[in-house]
Structure 1
Amino acid sequence: MLPWFQNNQFPLYLAPMAGVTDVVFRTICKELGADVMVTEFVSCEGIIQRDDRTRRYTEFTDEQRPVGVQIFGANGKRMGEAAKKIVDWKRPDFIDINFGCPVNKVVGKNGGSSLLKDCPLLTEVASEVVKAVGHIVPVTGKIRTGWDEKHINATEVCHILEDCGMQAISVHGRTRSQAYRGEANWDVIGECAESVKIPVVGNGDISSGEDVKKRREETAVSGVMIGRAAMQNPWVFREAKHYLETGEQPLPVPIGERWQLILRHCALAMESSRYGNERQTMMAMRARLMAYCKGFPGAKPLRTRLCHVESYAEIQDIAGEYLTQLDAGGFAPTSSSV
């Protein structure tokens, strides 16, 4: 069994999210209590062709361990070759295979969740990756409940992946056709966890310690994965652990502390140079900034300003003006909605 599941541990994963869970955000979430990290997915073809941009997505720090690099593709041999290159370069704690991405540009290349409707190809991909690197590092997989509501086959897929040598499976409780709409089906996730001997990690609609406790008590999952909730509230990991340990909901993080983290995230993003110069970095951060500020008093005009920022100095000015207005009681109580 993977070390982070041993001794009745119940790990909190940060879900891999394209354009979100870069090395900077993973650093922040690790500091705030996330136990296991997974990189943004990378194309096996980009890895094999030694594309510098693709390789950049595989970066992580030792402080983030245990961390896995997630790959996608639809050719077993090529996937195995890519996994071997990543292990040789980076030596992550595990390789994760993306069988769940619903995005058209991935599905259109027979990657991600498209493999859920082609189990022979899914088997080939899983087997070849395990064959290539399974003797060096563990291989895990991430799936959805199925292609659509008429084709729910997650338990079947879990059996296949277990037989192929996967050492853990993450199950997002939505179908490909749902994308991120509707509610996650935790009944299916629970069935998956009960049907295989390897750990199953549940993913979908986890946004609080109460959610974590409910799924731990009501299903057989060995851990949970938190995705979109962490975009707005990376403190969710710390808050969940506090709730599990004490049964008490911690006090909300003060808005001043939230702004401190926002500013730090921007500064770290510029240092990383991933997105280019300062202007390019701040433009890339706009969606992240608006997610952080969702639910703030006076959020609507605030987010209007954030979607036009081009420099770090602008963020500092916006933060200072906002906190001054907040201290002066300048926001009506009803303005907290977005």
Structure 2
Amino acid sequence: MLHWFSDGNFPLYLAPMAGVTDLIFRQICKEMGADVMVTEFVSAEGIMQADERTRKYTEFSEEQRPVGVQLFGADGERMGEAARKIIDKGLAGRRPDFIDINFGCPVNKVVSRNGGSSLLRDCPLLASVANGVAKAVGDDVPVTAKIRIGWDADSVNAVEVARTLEDCGMQAIAVHGRTRAQGYAGVADWDTIDAVARAVAVPVIGNGDIATGEDLAKRKRETAVSGAMIGRAAMQNPWVFREAKYFLETGKCMEPVPMQERWELVLRHCRLAVDSGRHGNERQTVIGMRGRLMAYCKGFPGAKELRQKLCQVESVAAVEDLAAGALEAYQTTTA
């Protein structure tokens, strides 16, 4: 059993999101109360070809444990070799706590290569991938999987897929309550997530539309899931983990995070990203962060104007100036 589910624990996972859940953002969310981390998905072929850019996605710090490295691909043998390489060679400088297989990504460039959610249409192939990784890894580290509820509304097969994955040795299954066809639109189907959780003996982690402590409490109370995974809500509000745990413990909502603290986190993220040098020089890093900065500012006073300015920033100093101006305007209007 995965130790983070022991003693009645109900762990909160940070969902793996390409271009979002990098080393730094995972660090921030861990500080905010996220229990389990999963890396951005990593191409098994990239690992096998010793691609340095791909290997960077496997990096994590000791403070982030428990953390898993998520792989995608469609060749069970190659996937298994890649998983073995991650474990044996310590590509991240250390061994992960688990290997996770991506059977849920809806993005065209992954699906077109028969990876991610495309395997939901081919259960024998999905089983061969899961078996390939589980056999290659053996008892060294657990193997888990993430799925969607099906390819489209006419082929919702999450219960069947989950039973197959359990038979293949997966030790936990995360279920995003949407089909591949939905993308991120519509409402997550927690009835299907609940059905999956009741159909298998391994822990099931529910994912979809959890943005508040009330959302989390409802899903914990009304379904059989053993944990929850939070993704898009954390992009604009990484405090969601702290807020959700507080609600579970007290039944009350935390006070809103002060604007000063919100802006301090935005600036800290910028500085950490630049200092890491992982994305090039300062200008390249800040330009690459524009989308992230705009996500943070969703719901801020004057958000529309802020987003227009943030999509032009090229330096930390420019973000600092925007923060100072926004805070001054906010304090004036609330005085």
Task: Please give the TM-score of this superposition, normalised by the length of structure 2.
Answer: 0.98
What's the counterpart of residue 2 of structure 1?
A: 2
**Residues of 2 paired with 1:251 and 1:203: CA distance?**
25
**Residues of 2 paired with 1:128 and 1:91: CA distance?**
19
What's the counterpart of residue 212 of structure 1?
A: 216
- Matching residue's letter, 1:73: G
What's the counterpart of residue 237 of structure 2?
A: 233
What's the counterpart of residue 318 of structure 1?
A: 322
Residue of 195, 203, 207 corresponding to 1:203:
207
- Matching residue's letter, 2:41: F
What's the counterpart of residue 125 of structure 2?
A: 121
What's the counterpart of residue 243 of structure 1?
A: 247
What's the secondary structure of 2:271's corresponding residue?
helix
**Residues of 2 paired with 1:237 and 1:272: CA distance?**
25
What's the counterpart of residue 11 of structure 1?
A: 11
**Residues of 1 paired with 2:15 and 2:151: CA distance?**
20
**Residues of 1 paired with 2:177 and 2:242: CA distance?**
23
- Between stretches 271-280 and 139-148, larger displacement belongs to 271-280
Residue of 135, 139, 148 corresponding to 1:135:
139
Alpha-carbon distance, 1:328 to partner: 1.4
Q: State yes or no: 1:274 paired with 2:304.
A: no
What's the counterpart of residue 77 of structure 2?
A: 77
What's the counterpart of residue 335 of structure 1?
A: none
Cα deviation per residue 1:291-319 (whole Å; 9 max; x = unaligned)? 00001111111111000000011011111
- Matching residue's letter, 1:234: P
Q: How many residues align?
A: 331
Q: State yes or no: 1:254 paired with 2:258.
A: yes
What's the counterpart of residue 30 of structure 1?
A: 30
Residue of 98, 106, 111 corresponding to 1:107:
111
Alpha-carbon distance, 1:142 to partner: 0.1
**Residues of 2 paired with 1:330 and 1:247: CA distance?**
29
Alpha-carbon distance, 1:52 to partner: 0.3
What's the secondary structure of 1:174's corresponding residue?
strand
**Residues of 2 paired with 1:208 and 1:100: CA distance?**
23
- Matching residue's letter, 1:17: M
Residue of 302, 320, 332 corresponding to 1:328:
332
Q: State yes or no: 1:86 paired with 2:86.
A: yes
Structure 1: 4+ residue segments shifted above 6 A? none
**Residues of 1 paired with 2:177 and 2:278: CA distance?**
32
Q: Kindly, what percent of the aligned residue pairs are identical? A: 69
- Matching residue's letter, 2:309: R
- Matching residue's letter, 1:270: V
**Residues of 1 paired with 2:168 and 2:275: CA distance?**
41
**Residues of 1 paired with 2:101 and 2:270: CA distance?**
30
- Between stretches 265-274 and 145-154, larger displacement belongs to 265-274
Q: State yes or no: 1:169 paired with 2:199.
A: no
- Matching residue's letter, 2:199: S
What's the counterpart of residue 53 of structure 1?
A: 53
**Residues of 1 paired with 2:196 and 2:325: CA distance?**
50
**Residues of 1 paired with 2:100 and 2:277: CA distance?**
26
1:298-309 aligned at under 5 Å gives the runs: 298-309=302-313
Cα deviation per residue 1:10-34 (whole Å; 9 max; x = unaligned)? 0000000000000000000000000
- Between stretches 321-330 and 35-44, larger displacement belongs to 321-330
Cα deviation per residue 1:180-238 (whole Å; 9 max; x = unaligned)? 00000000000000000000000000001111110011000000000000000000000
- Matching residue's letter, 1:322: A
**Residues of 1 paired with 2:35 and 2:332: CA distance?**
39
- Matching residue's letter, 1:264: R
What's the secondary structure of 1:144's corresponding residue?
strand
Alpha-carbon distance, 1:165 to partner: 0.4
Cα deviation per residue 1:227-284 (whole Å; 9 max; x = unaligned)? 0000000000000011111111001000110000000000011112121110000001
Calculate the aligned-residue CA RMSD, in Å. Answer: 0.9
- Between stretches 43-52 and 268-277, larger displacement belongs to 268-277
What's the counterpart of residue 42 of structure 1?
A: 42
**Residues of 2 paired with 1:79 and 1:111: CA distance?**
11
Task: Please give the TM-score of this superposition, normalised by the length of structure 1.
Answer: 0.97
- Matching residue's letter, 2:229: M
Cα deviation per residue 1:127-176 (whole Å; 9 max; x = unaligned)? 01000113100000000000000000000000000000000000000000
**Residues of 1 paired with 2:138 and 2:319: CA distance?**
45
